[in-house]
Each structure stands twice: as C-alpha cells, then as structure tokens.
C-alpha cells in the first residue's frame, strides 16, 4: 500500500511513495541528471517527451507535462497555479494511488513534482515502467487487434468504469497490452466520478474514434463493427454489470 510523503522547498514540492524510497529530490525529474549517470535509456516521442530511467526501484517512466493543441503555442509546458493539491501531477499521483488500492491495472506511481514560478508551474511524474508492453495502437498497426483482444479491451474499460474512474483521453495509445495483461495509462486530468451512462458512453465514443482514425475500419465499417467493436462492447457490458 502506498505511503504518500511530501517534500517542499524553494523550488516547489514533491510527492513520493515512501514504501519505495526514503527521499526523492529534484534531480530525479531531470533527464540530464540520469543521462550523466548513464541511466537514461531512451527518450520516446509524444507530447512533452517521455524518458525511460533506470532507478534503484527498477525501470521507470519520467513524463514531463506539456500542453497540447492551440494553447501549447502560448503556454508551452506552463500551467496556471491554483494550489498544490489541484496541480496536475499531484492529482494524477493520488488517482494512481486510488487505482492501485482498488486493484485496477494502471501505472504504479513513484513520485510527482511541481516547480512553481509566480502564477505558473511546471510539472513531472514518475511511474513504474510496465515491462514488455505495446500500445493498442501498435497492436492495431501490426494486425494483432482481433475479436479476442477487443473483448479484453472492453473488459479493461468496464472495470475502470465500474469503479468510477474517468479517463480524460481514452484512446488506443493509452491502452497497453503486456504479457501480464492489459493496462490503462496516462491519467492526466482523470478523476473519480459517480458511475453514469453519459460519461461512460462518451469515453467509449472517444476510444471508438481513436480506433477508426488509426485504421481499424480499414476493411469496412461492417467488418469493424462485427469483428472489433461489438465484441468490445459485449465484454464491456458484461464487466460493467458484473
């Protein structure tokens, strides 16, 4: 069970899991620091950049928060300060802790940080890396998305929705397929909500649009419905109402 501990100084504040580490400092969130130690294996693509770091608690993902869309041109990686407990990294860190407590398959939170400057702050999050995993988008590109995998995705989403976990950006890039099972990742702006048909269906529509955009309906809408979407919805409904 996670034990949340907080460290504050003039540069900002850090939340970390004290069951994993006795202390976390700002160097943990600096890719250059890991590079100097030869512990930065890879920087992958994606908004804001993602680094895989080799730490004393195993391989972790270091993610820097970065805005997307049109506002990114103005704000970049800065966010308006509205309080520590409402900051993006702290809310995601705590949501991941709740996901773990409920036994749901999400990333394990290690540490989160904000660095405040006046009215704005920048932020980072460290989670345990899920080994030997591919995104659902990668599986689709490799021709591995079939009815069986679609059912597993439906069951995954159903478990989170049944628990009232709302994912703000449910798409094929945020579903991981690993040897140990399926996971949802990237819970930035996610939150606990009372289960309700409206937001659950909106989440599913977002996932559907993502799959179609990535080419899941390449053999035609009817084939997509029969082989992918209906199996996904079937297991989703069975899981949601179990």
* Token pair belonging to 184: 């949802």
Distances in Å between the alpha carbon of 22 and those of 16, 25, 110? 9, 10, 12
The sign of the dihedral angle between the CA atoms of 201, 203, 207, 212 is positive
Q: Are 27 and 36 a contacting pair, CB within 8 Å?
A: no
Look up tokens 């949601």; give the residue: 240
Q: What's the CA angle centered on 70, arms 68 and 71, to 5 degrees?
A: 75
Helix (H, G, I), strand (E, B) or coil at 29: helix
CB-based contact 118:12 (threshold 8 Å): no
Q: Which residues are catalytic?
A: 169
């Amino acid at each position: 069970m996670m034990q949340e501990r907080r460290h504050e100084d003039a540069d900002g504040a850090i939340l970390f899991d004290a069951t994993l580490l006795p202390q976390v400092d700002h160097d943990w969130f600096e890719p250059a620091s890991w590079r100097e130690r030869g512990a930065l294996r890879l920087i992958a693509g994606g908004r804001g950049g993602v680094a895989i770091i080799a730490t004393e608690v195993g391989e972790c993902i270091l993610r820097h928060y970065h805005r997307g869309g049109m506002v990114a041109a103005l704000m970049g990686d800065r966010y308006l300060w509205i309080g520590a407990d409402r900051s993006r990294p702290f809310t995601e860190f705590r949501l991941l802790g709740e996901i773990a407590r409920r036994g749901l398959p999400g990333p394990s939170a290690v540490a989160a940080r904000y660095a405040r400057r006046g009215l704005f702050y920048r932020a980072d999050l460290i989670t345990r890396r899920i080994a030997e995993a591919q995104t659902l988008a990668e599986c689709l590109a490799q021709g591995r998305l079939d009815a069986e995998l679609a059912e597993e995705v439906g069951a995954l989403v159903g478990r989170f929705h049944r628990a009232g976990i709302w994912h703000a950006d449910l798409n094929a890039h945020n579903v991981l397929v690993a040897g140990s099972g399926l996971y949802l990742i990237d819970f930035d702006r996610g939150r606990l909500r009372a289960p309700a048909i409206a937001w659950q269906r909106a989440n599913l529509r977002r996932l559907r649009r993502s799959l179609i955009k990535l080419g899941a309906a390449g053999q035609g809408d009817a084939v997509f419905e029969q082989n992918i979407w209906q199996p996904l919805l079937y297991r989703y409904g069975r899981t949601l109402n179990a």
